[in-house]
Chains A and B, each alone.
Chain A
Amino acid sequence: MKEQDIAILEQKFQEKIDNDIKIEPNDWMPDAYRNTLIRQISQHAHSEIVGMLPEGNWITRAPNLRRKAVLLAKVQDEAGHGLYLYSATETLGADREQTIDDLHSGVAKYSSIFNYPTLSWADMGAVGWLVDGAAIMNQVPLCRCSYGPYARAMVRVCKEESFHQRQGFEIMMKLAAGTPEQKEMAQDALNRFWWPAIMMFGPNDAESKHTAQSMKWKIKRHTNDELRQQFIDVTVPQAELIGLTIPDPLLKFNEATGHYEHGPIDWDEFWEVVKGNGPCNKDRVDARRKAKENGLWVRQAALAHAEKKKLRKQAS
């Protein structure tokens, strides 16, 4: 294609986006748009799947039948989210097998929050409340993302995420109103998950290299710092409501702006975990790789059986 033609296509593409017309799989799109989406959606899919591990860690130890059932349902939802998101990457021409191998080889990233361990039952509360809560802040605007299949997947995902957030908050509320040991367990979980949760929105706007382009393409609607602020503003009163303390001594409400101001974020820690040096990075990726390796014979058998069945049908 001539450069001139591409320029025209790009212009038409941007006009569609500016007019809030969804881009669909068969529409022309710039390679950079496609690649950005593949990267973002596959990271999102990996986060859903890796995110099953820290919560899966407590299913067998859930304290009662109701909590066990709710946790199972939640983790099952996350697997479902992973599945639709991998399908969304396929609509962009990505190969699911390759996408997953990129996770296992460390090429692809996933949300760093899942590289922290879940050490107590209260962590199931903190993860639901904070991690799913932060995910909602990120994902609600994605329901209006310019890429149709991603936007539609997010509508379904967000409904489930709000159930996840509520069940997490409910766990925390119950603990915070419980015995001193339970309250301490809840506070300890909040202490460990607060900072990693607010880091989930990514680096400060000044450091975020993809934000401007993604906003122009309407893949992103708000900057990292805007979303982080929104999350803090919503979450701090929730902690106060149940009598837990946000582990940030510099946190204060600014009457003039109507927003909370928070203390400095430890970006060194953030980048270390992104690079692979978080407490559980290796465990998480190893667990996923092992699941794939141990399942190889099963997948081969399913293919072989399907093939034999087809041949038998043809023969008869």
Chain B
Amino acid sequence: MNSLFEYLLRLGDDSLILGHRLSEWCGHGPILEEDIAMTNISLDFIGQTTTILELAGQVEGKGRTNDDLAFLRFDKEYRNLLLVEQPNTDFGFTMMRQFLFDAYRKPLFEALMKSNNKQLAAIAEKSLKETKYHLRHSSEWVIRLGDGTEESHSRIQESLDTLWRYTGELFFSNEVDAELTESGVLPDMSGIEAEWKQTVDEVFAMATLTIPESPWKFEGGRIGKHSEHLGYILTELQYMQRAYPNMEW
């Protein structure tokens, strides 16, 4: 197994699938400003996907382009988190999903900036700028909705109750990580979980939200075992490439 390729798929697929989910909001946001914000964030994610999967294709060395990787793999070959493929449900759910992810992505990119792989470090640096803005945006909404009205509070608490089970997978680690750590591609990642937890605790305190007690954590995305949702995402995402193979657009 090519560990760096595998790791880049994780990064690229998280961006691709979450970008896809956000783009589903386009034209349907609760206010026009949020239509713009979600489309803009989706665009950042598609931009990240483009550079990360391009690098993945080079690292793999089999001549696959970023589009080949984005559009022509089977579901088991996607390495995104279960968290990012969860459906939009409502605006609060979308913001909670985003917040839990952004709070992880920020320390992750900060760490990856120290990678000995120059290209990966450069991607991390560029993406970090975007991620900081995404995190500010999603934290503000979690706080607004948690603190807002009785209805918004109970809705966003319910979103947290549902999504919390997917957060264990954020810190998934296997032989891929071990090997990349050994070779110095992955710098010390030990602080990421603590930083994530601190961000989450701070924001939830302001939002008056409570972390659910369920100890059970779902994982599988990182090794290609996905939820039922991914198949439908890919059906749309891949439609053109599957229906009209080998054409240029």
Q: In whole Å, how far is B6's beta carbon from the nearest beta carbon of chain A?
A: 20
Task: Tell me if A121 and B249 are in contact (CB < 8 A).
Answer: yes
A interface residue numbers (CB < 8 A to B): 49, 52-53, 56, 59-69, 72-73, 75-76, 79-80, 82-83, 86, 121, 171, 174-175, 178-179, 181-182, 287, 290-292, 294-305, 308
Q: How many whole Å from B39's CB to the nearest CB in chain A?
A: 4
- Complex Cα–Cα for A166 and B10 (A): 35
Contact flags B79-116 to A (C-beta < 8 A → 1, else 0): 00000000000111000000000000000000000000
List of A residues within 8 angstroms of B148 by Cβ: 300-305
Residue B26 is within 8 A (CB to CB) of chain A in the complex:
yes
For residue B3, CB closer than 8 A to chain A, the reply is: no
Asked whether any CB of chain A lies closer than 8 Å to the CB of B23, the reply is yes
Q: How far apart are the CA atoms of A124 and B9 in the complex, in Å?
A: 29
Q: Is the pair A295, B29 in contact by a Cβ cutoff of 8 Å? A: yes
Task: Give the docked Cα–Cα distance between A128 and B10 (Å).
Answer: 34
The CA-CA distance from A60 to B28 in the complex, in Å, is: 14
Contact A49 B43 (CB under 8 A): no
Contact B30 A299 (CB under 8 A): yes
Which of B34, B46, B151 has the largest count of A CB atoms less than 10 A from its CB?
Answer: B46
B49 touches A300 (CB 8 A): no
When C-beta atoms are compared, the residue in chain A nearest to B70 turns out to be: A65
A179 to B243, CA, bound (A): 13
| Closest beta carbon of chain B to A122's beta carbon, Å | 10
State whether the Cβ of B169 lies closer than 8 Å to any Cβ in chain A. no
Report whether B35 and A65 are in contact in the complex, using a CB–CB cutoff of 8 Å: no
CB-based contact B249/A300 at 8 Å: no
A62 touches which of B24, B66, B240 (Cβ 8 Å): B240
A79-B32 contact, Cβ under 8 Å, with A60-B24, A65-B67, A181-B244:
yes
| A179-B244 Cα distance, complex, nearest whole Å | 10
B29: contacting residue among A171, A291, A301, A302, CB under 8 A: A291
- Decide: A301 and B249 in contact? CB cutoff 8 A: no
Given A63-B240, A80-B36, A305-B144, are A291 and B27 also a contact pair (CB < 8 Å)?
Answer: yes
- Residues of B whose CB lies within 8 Å of any CB of A are 20, 23-24, 26-36, 39-40, 42-43, 46-47, 49-50, 53, 66-67, 70-71, 90-92, 143-145, 147-149, 151-152, 155, 236-237, 239-241, 244, 247-249
The answer to whether B240 and A304 touch across the interface, beta carbons within 8 angstroms, is no
Residue of A nearest to B153 (CB): A301
User: B27 touching A52 by the CB < 8 A rule?
Assistant: yes
Given contacts A63-B71, A298-B34, 4 further A-B contacts (CB under 8 A): A56-B27, A64-B67, A83-B36, A302-B148
Contact assessment for A299 and B31 in the assembled complex, using a CB-CB cutoff below 8 Å: yes
Q: A60: which B residues are within 8 A, CB to CB?
A: 20, 23-24, 236-237
CB atoms of B36 and A300 under 8 A apart: no
A72 and B23 within 8 A (CB): yes
Q: With the chains together, A294 CA to B30 CA distance in Å? A: 7
Q: How far is the CA of A22 from the CA of B27 in the complex (A)?
A: 34
CA–CA, A295 and B33, complex, Å: 12
B46, A61: Cβ atoms closer than 8 Å? no
| Residue among B27, B53, B147 making CB contact with A53, cutoff 8 Å | B27
What's the Cα separation between A182 and B46 when bound, in Å? 25
In the bound complex, what is the Cα–Cα distance between A53 and B147 (angstroms)? 32
Known interface pairs A60-B237, A295-B30; A174-B155 also in contact (CB < 8 Å): no
On chain A, the residues within 8 Å of B34 by CB distance are: 295, 298
Q: Do A297 and B151 contact each other (CB < 8 Å), given the known contacts A56-B26, A174-B249, A291-B28?
A: yes
- A residues less than 8 Å from B91 (CB atoms): 294-295, 298
Query: Nearest-CB distance from B116 to chain A (Å)?
Result: 27
